[in-house]
Amino acid sequence: WFTSLLHARAVIRAWTQEYNEERPKKKLGGLTPAAYAKTLAAKAATINPGL
């Protein structure tokens, strides 16, 4: 249970950060979602450098 809206936002923000930046996923080759997104962005930049 959350004690206030501010408390809920803080807890959800912390959980989202942990999920995306600290917890590796098997489906993403052992990378975190944030690290996987960075690799995709790097690949896209090399495939379409002029776009």
Mean pLDDT by 10 residues, the chain (51 residues): 97 95 93 94 78 59
- How far is it, in rounded angstroms, from Cα 49 to Cα 51? 6
Q: Are 21 and 32 in contact (CB under 8 A)?
A: yes
- What pLDDT, on the 0 to 100 scale, is given for residue 44? 84
Residues 39, 49: Cα–Cα separation, whole Å? 15
- Residue 29 is predicted with a pLDDT of 93
- In this prediction, residue 36 carries a pLDDT of 95
Q: Supply the DSSP symbol for 32.
A: -
How many structural domains are present in the chain? Answer: 1
Q: Which residues contact 2 (CB under 8 A, 6 or more apart)?
A: 8, 11
Q: Domain span at residue 35?
A: 5-47
This prediction has a pTM of 0.65
